[in-house]
Structures are given as structure tokens and as C-alpha cells.
Structure 1
């Protein structure tokens, strides 16, 4: 998470949406840098609103706008699937080396989810409190130019991105019936993505 006080902007870090590249490029420009632990670095909208936003409201009588990125739901799951096939995870309960993408998605659809597929949800990340404002600016991951343009304009700075945290390449085949079931059960994920710019 990065907070730019003068610009009244918070950039939240949704896991697996390329936030590490923006974090690395903008950390020296930010007023507050939250790089860990993961529960704070990747604080969802509700947690940000409850704790961080309240600080600015109570101390400075100002509210920050919130920016975040959302990824197409199956692509987002695919990124988790590939990420968890890194060599250093071999033998770990979260490893996906011996799984197909279809098996990974089927695991995600189970209740409770097995450890390898327990990755949360983007719609849950964006869920607001009953009295919260929520995210002000939500961009699609596949519209990197819009993200870049917005941040460069808002922060009045040039941003030079590098590729960070790149997952291994793997086949992403999924059976039609698995995809249909995922789309039906997790329609909220697609609604969120469709509303993003």
C-alpha cells in the first residue's frame, strides 16, 4: 500500500494485479509505504477504511481517494496457480506443480478450499464497510496504459515500470463445465471486473 498525502490518494495492493511493479517505482514518491506484513501491505478496502482512512479523517479532517486494480477473474486465478508452482514451493501444501489449472479452479470451488486454492477473492477485497466509501478508482489490470496515465497525471511524475514478481508459464486449460460453474458461483467477481475502467 502506498499513500500520497498531498494528492489525497491511497494505492491499495490487490494481490496478483501487478502492484509490486508500481510499488517499486513509486515507493520513494509516497508519504507512507506499507511493505509488510502481508495483512497490512495487502489491506483490503474495509481494513484500509477502518484504520488508515480514520487516521486522516480524525487528524486532518480529510478523506483519501482509494485506487486499486482488478484482474479478469479466471486470469487472476491463473496468476495464483502459476505463482504457486514456483520451484521454492515444491512439497508445500500450497504448491500447484502437480495440478492442472482445471483442478486448481475445482479446488477453488470447494468448501472449504484446499490450501493450494485458498487465495481469497477480489470482490471480498473490495467489499466496503456499511459506513465506508469504498474504492474511488478501480482499474482493469489489462488496461495498464489507463493505470499509468492516471497515476502519472495525479502524482505529476514519470513512472518507469519494471517487470516484478513474474510467475512461471503454465498451460491454462479449463473444462467448459468447470468454467461455467465458476462463472455462476462467482458472478460477483465478474461484476466487479465489468464495472472497472
Structure 2
């Protein structure tokens, strides 16, 4: 989480959506961010419950949240590749030696093993049994839209470096049997539906309710 007081925005870092690169760009504008939130992926529900009130009290009202969403299968593939890196080989979180299909099967199980414990983006963004929803959700595939938005709100032109990139993999390594792909789509139907809404224009705006920005 980063608090951009000048822009009246709070960045919620949805994992595997260029969060390290965005933090590198936004850190100079985030002087108001509480120290104990700097490296945590604080979701919409936790922000609303724990941080929205203190931020209003210290910085004033009128803050909105923003985050990035990635096509669900792309995000899942990025997690799989990231957990194949040599630095964690042998760790319980490693996917080394597994196929992508085995990883997805584990993700769909009732009690996923550590390497397959990955949060849902619709839950992170406040659209699945939690809320309040993030006010601005940008498509990972169209980050220029986000950079234009932030440049306008911060009054300076921003560009994005590349940080924390998952290891490259052949497209074939991320293929799935049709029945398994269908099961994943069914289990994550609301996540795919939310991404479709974001993808249509590159950004989904959910205006804050009156109580969200007032004391």
C-alpha cells in the first residue's frame, strides 16, 4: 500500500501486476504512507477496515483507491513461473518439477499446498464477499492508461521501469487440458467476469460511496 497524499490516492498492490515497478515510480510521492504497510499486499477489505480511517484522520478526507488487475490465467501463469525460480528450489513454495496442469489442479483443491496458495483478484479488489471495492481498477495489459491517470493526478510525467519479472517460459509450458481449463473458469467465474469489465475500456471506475471519503 502506498498513500499518495498529493493525488488523494491510495495504491493497493495486487500481486503479479507490476507492483514492484509501480512502487519504484510512486515511492517519491508516498511520504504519507505508514511505515508498517510499505511491503504488504493490503487488499480492499483490510484497507477499508484498518487503514481508511487513520489515513482520513492524518491526511484528510477525499482519498480514492486504485489497483491493477491482470487477466486471470496470465496472473496464474506468472505465479507458476515465479515460483519456479532457482532461488526457492526445494522450498515448499517452489513449483520446480511440476507441470502447469499439476499446479492448477493443486490450486483448485480444497486445501491447496503452499506452492498453490494464491489469492483471488476479485477478493483482493473488494468484489467478492468483502468490499468496499477499489475505486479505480486498471488493466495490466494497458498500463499506459494508468500512467496517464497518475501523471495527471500527480502533475508530472511518469514512466515505468521493469522490476521483479517472472522467468520466461514457452507458451506450451502453460497449456492446459480443455476440461481443466473449463473447471478453472467455472471456479473463478466472478474473477473472469470482473476482468472482462476492466478490459473493455482499460479501467473500471467504482465511485466511492459518501461514507467512504468522509470522517
- TM (norm. structure 1) is 0.91
Does the CA contact (< 8 Å) of 1:27 and 1:33 recur in 2?
Answer: no
2:107 — aligned with what? 108
Supply the distance in 2 between the matched residues of 1:131 and 1:80 (Cα, whole angstroms).
23
Supply the distance in 2 between the matched residues of 1:190 and 1:124 (Cα, whole angstroms).
12
More helix by share: 2
1:32 is displaced (CA, Å) by 2.9
1:133 is displaced (CA, Å) by 3.8
Does the CA contact (< 8 Å) of 2:123 and 2:130 recur in 1?
Answer: no
Does the CA contact (< 8 Å) of 1:35 and 1:41 recur in 2?
Answer: no
Counterparts of 1:14-163 in structure 2, within 5 Å, are: 14-33=14-33, 41-59=40-58, 61-127=60-126, 133-163=132-162
Does the CA contact (< 8 Å) of 2:68 and 2:139 recur in 1?
Answer: yes
Supply the distance in 1 between the matched residues of 2:182 and 2:78 (Cα, whole angstroms).
19
Supply the distance in 2 between the matched residues of 1:101 and 1:185 (Cα, whole angstroms).
17
1:51 is displaced (CA, Å) by 1.8
Partner SS for 2:24? helix
Supply the distance in 1 between the matched residues of 2:98 and 2:117 (Cα, whole angstroms).
14
Please say which of residues 130-139 and 86-95 is displaced more in the overlay. 130-139
Cα distance, 1:61–1:131 mapped onto 2, change above 3 Å: farther
Supply the distance in 2 between the matched residues of 1:164 and 1:94 (Cα, whole angstroms).
21
Q: Structure 1 stretches of 5 or more lacking a match? A: none
Correspondent of 2:192 among 190, 193, 197: 190
2:12 — aligned with what? 12
Supply the distance in 2 between the matched residues of 1:51 and 1:147 (Cα, whole angstroms).
26
Q: Structure 2 stretches of 5 or more lacking a match? A: 204-215
Cα distance, 1:34–1:19 mapped onto 2, change above 3 Å: farther
1:132 is displaced (CA, Å) by 5.7
Please say which of residues 28-37 and 4-13 is displaced more in the overlay. 28-37
